[in-house]
Structure 1
Amino acid sequence: MLKGLMRLAPCAAVLCSLISTAHADEGKRVFTGTLGKTPIVVELNTAQQDEVTGRYFYEKYHRDLPLSGALLDSTLTLVEGNNRYGDDKPLPTLKLEETADGWQGEWQSPQGKKLAVQLSEAKLAAPSSNALPFIAALPASDPYEYLRVQGLKLKPLKKQDFMGYTLQWWTEPDSKISLFSVESGLPKDDLQRVNQQLLGRLWSEVISYHGCQLMGGENVEFMQQAEPKLISPAVVSLNISTSYYCGGAHPDFGDSPLNIDVNTGHPLSLEDVLWVGKGQPLLHAERDSLGDKPLNESESAARSTYQREVLVPWLIKQFTALYPEEMKKPTQEDDCDFTDESIWGYSSWHFTAKGLYLGPYFARVQRSCDAPDWSILPYSVVKQHPGAVKLQLPQN
């Protein structure tokens, strides 16, 4: 997921109309132009001239095509696509010469068809005044993705009543990624804060989808399902389950919950809600928007030590008392061992009506042990160990 996103500050009127694509990552530059007569967006990293990498998409289709090659003097020679899975098929090529503000040259198909290429340094229209903070931050953090999402629109789907709140579901048709916003049941300002996070997460998942497409090539798989878990005046909690294959040896799957503090609109870390260590809890440890300062190296190390040496042993002790049958030491080697401390180190967690759900994470050969339905820490226990944020938790 993208980190440190925030609403852009107002700028001078002349500069607001166009924002230059200052390099979001060292060596990367973004260009717009045409291949033949078709508009394209191109990202190139020429920092290592003998191993130039990049990608581009046709504005009409939005899907990335990988580029790789080398820059010799002022001539850039690129191959479009790859034969990573052992194929030996011929691939299209691009041969480009550097110009004052970009590149020009030609694209050639394996069959010999040639099309002119014209590229100029991208100039980005400033985000609209009502843009989501996530979108408003992309020109600075990822101009290539900003240009992609400008051509994408969300489509409304069904409405859903959930725990007395009205949810409006949305989908981005290209990726088929879906998520909801909260339409009613909360005060207006709370709705705005929460929906900025929810819709920002939807767009973040769309970007992840395209990243998977780029890495996975023809065999890619990216299927996702979002499910609301708890909505209250204090928190909005949901789980996002993803099954994916983005290249590599095996497909995989996993959960990625989002827990939002309604009062601030900030995502909540587990330490915000539950703290069993000594001293003050780590505050806002997983903030990923609105400009909150990330953990530095020593803070990150302290958090890792806390999770490993304090939280996990405490959690196993609690679950053993609450669920003795489920937490019994297995008698066979391939049975699920929920007493293994390593599976609880970075638990996937979310709110439920009954308590905090904390999910273990098993190695690939035992992934069927993931996501047991019983591993819920009751709120009566959680309230005895409050975290950094004062929340009104449900009653058990």
Structure 2
Amino acid sequence: MFKGLCRLTGVVALICSTFSHVLWADSDTQVYTGNLGKMPIVLEVNLNSGEGRYFYQKYRQDLILSGTREGELLVMSEGADEDEHRPIFRLQPKPQGWSGEWTNAKGKVLKVELQPARLAPLTGDNLPYLTQLHDKLPYEFLRLQGLKLSKGQTENFMGYTLQWWSEPLSGVQLFEVVSGYSVQVRQRINQRLMARLWQGVGDTLGCTVDGRPGSYSQTSQPVFMSQSVMSAFTSTDFYCGGLHPNQDNETLNFDAKTGKVLTLDDVLWVGQGKPAHFEEGTDEYSSQPYPTYSEYRTKELAPWLVAQLLKRYPKEMTIKPAIEEGDCIYNDDQPWGYPLWHFTENGLKLEPSFIHAAAVCRDTAWSVLPYSLVKQHPGGVALQLP
């Protein structure tokens, strides 16, 4: 079990004790470690704009910075623009980093010393998600470094044993599969589940409103498990700025024979030619360019889904002639181009996509495509559907 960023386990390993001189740098944005007074901090700043953020390693929650360059001097204000009497960083460059002072409205002055962040090279069997953070987003990697997971309850779900884990600082929790599948399959599935847990930890700690910590709550649960397929569901309620709070749902669907993540097109394909495989944000796993894929989703899949759902659920899909405010328009293609989905005992459960203001419209307990229909339009992965 991957318990923390400084422990070696059977799933992942991050070596934290011996740091080499591997330095991450971007042409504009730099990451530094050091001290504000006696408190260790990690700071990220765009040296052209002066915009940035930092966190105390004790708390790991973002504090937003906005600033300017005054010659060589870097001056940054902490907090929201509308706040009066904001704390100020005044930093001078030094051969390796920055040195200066932090001053608050009450006149308190603390010394600041910063040096470029240096990350240890990763060795061993690492969680891919954390490897990506290490290589591309060192600020986020350093935020998670040193955190450990707490072991929770063991659960039996549909004949499979699950072990729950939580991260105490953020409160985020998720489970691992500990029995029922082969070791190799469990390892692949658990890598993705633990990646989602750590992503939730980072999102929680990085959520800010007007320069201060925002509100972020994430819950997860298994929804279906069999010898052929598996689904897990995550729901997130958050407010990290903007006009309104947000609510977002997400599913992880797996081929239980291989442990690989399944997209809807791996399971169901109604287009011409070879089924596509497109994972958002992971081009290396995608079989075709996004514009081509988007064309299929909006011009072929969405109309087909609407036709099938109208045939099976005419009452639920049909809107009133005079549309009232708050009505959920289901017999339109738009909500069905990129539906959320997961496996059930009877078929594929589809959740239409609606904007936050119409989030209540996503709650469609009835929108299930029976496996008898899905099997007539197989996707790109050979599956033994229930």
Shift of 1:128: 5.2
Aligned twin of 1:9: none
Which whole-Å CA distance do the structure 1 matches of 2:371 and 2:99 have between them? 63
Which whole-Å CA distance do the structure 2 matches of 1:133 and 1:264 have between them? 17
Shift of 1:180: 0.8
Aligned twin of 1:375: 367
Q: Is the 8 A contact 1:193 1:262 kept in 2?
A: no
1:273 paired to 2:271: no
1:384 paired to 2:376: yes
Residue type at the aligned position of 2:35 = T
1:361 paired to 2:361: no
1:227-257 Cα offsets, whole Å, 9 max, x none, are 2111223332111111111111111212111
Alpha-carbon distance change, 55 to 245 in structure 1, aligned in 2, over 3 angstroms: same
Alpha-carbon distance change, 295 to 37 in structure 1, aligned in 2, over 3 angstroms: farther
Q: Is the 8 A contact 2:61 2:213 kept in 1?
A: no
Q: Is the 8 A contact 1:168 1:182 kept in 2?
A: yes
Which whole-Å CA distance do the structure 2 matches of 1:210 and 1:342 have between them? 33
Aligned twin of 1:27: 28
TM-score, length-scaled by structure 2: 0.89
Q: Secondary structure at the match of 2:314?
A: coil
1:344 paired to 2:336: yes
Which whole-Å CA distance do the structure 2 matches of 1:33 and 1:389 have between them? 49
Shift of 1:28: 1.4
Shift of 1:36: 0.9
Q: Is the 8 A contact 1:21 1:143 kept in 2?
A: no
Which whole-Å CA distance do the structure 1 matches of 2:344 and 2:99 have between them? 56
Structure 1 counterpart of 2:116, from 111, 115, 121: 121
Which whole-Å CA distance do the structure 2 matches of 1:278 and 1:115 have between them? 65
Which whole-Å CA distance do the structure 2 matches of 1:203 and 1:288 have between them? 17
Q: Is the 8 A contact 1:274 1:382 kept in 2?
A: yes
1:135-185 Cα offsets, whole Å, 9 max, x none, are 233211111111111131111111111111111111111111111111111
Q: Is the 8 A contact 2:44 2:53 kept in 1?
A: yes
1:253-293 Cα offsets, whole Å, 9 max, x none, are 1211111233443322211111000111113x11766x834
Q: Is the 8 A contact 1:90 1:110 kept in 2?
A: yes
Shift of 1:219: 7.0
1:37 paired to 2:32: no
Q: Is the 8 A contact 1:216 1:245 kept in 2?
A: no
Q: Is the 8 A contact 2:39 2:56 kept in 1?
A: yes
Shift of 1:88: 3.8
Shift of 1:309: 1.0
Q: Secondary structure at the match of 1:257?
A: strand
Aligned twin of 1:188: 183
Q: Secondary structure at the match of 2:319?
A: coil
Q: Secondary structure at the match of 1:169?
A: strand
Q: Is the 8 A contact 2:342 2:348 kept in 1?
A: yes
Q: Is the 8 A contact 1:54 1:67 kept in 2?
A: yes
Which whole-Å CA distance do the structure 2 matches of 1:60 and 1:70 have between them? 27
Shift of 1:19: 5.5
Which whole-Å CA distance do the structure 1 matches of 2:286 and 2:299 have between them? 22
1:252 paired to 2:246: yes
**Range with greater deviation from structure 2 (355-364 or 156-165):** 355-364
Number of residues of Structure 1 aligned to a counterpart in Structure 2: 368
TM-score, length-scaled by structure 1: 0.87
Which whole-Å CA distance do the structure 2 matches of 1:233 and 1:132 have between them? 25
Alpha-carbon distance change, 67 to 337 in structure 1, aligned in 2, over 3 angstroms: same
Aligned twin of 1:69: 67
Q: Spell out the pairing of 1:285-300 with structure 2 (5 A cutoff).
A: 285-286=278-279, 292-294=284-286, 299-300=289-290
Which whole-Å CA distance do the structure 2 matches of 1:343 and 1:267 have between them? 23
Which whole-Å CA distance do the structure 2 matches of 1:63 and 1:328 have between them? 46
1:18 paired to 2:20: yes
Alpha-carbon distance change, 264 to 156 in structure 1, aligned in 2, over 3 angstroms: same
Structure 1 segments, 4+ long, off by >6 Å, are: none
Structure 2 unaligned residues grouped into runs of 5+: 1-17
Aligned twin of 1:3: none
Shift of 1:216: 5.5
Shift of 1:110: 1.0
Structure 2 counterpart of 1:89, from 84, 93, 96: 84
**Range with greater deviation from structure 2 (123-132 or 156-165):** 123-132
Identity of aligned residues (%): 43
Residue type at the aligned position of 1:29 = Q
Structure 2 counterpart of 1:235, from 200, 212, 229: 229
Shift of 1:353: 1.7
Q: Is the 8 A contact 1:268 1:286 kept in 2?
A: no
Alpha-carbon distance change, 363 to 123 in structure 1, aligned in 2, over 3 angstroms: closer
Q: Secondary structure at the match of 2:51?
A: strand
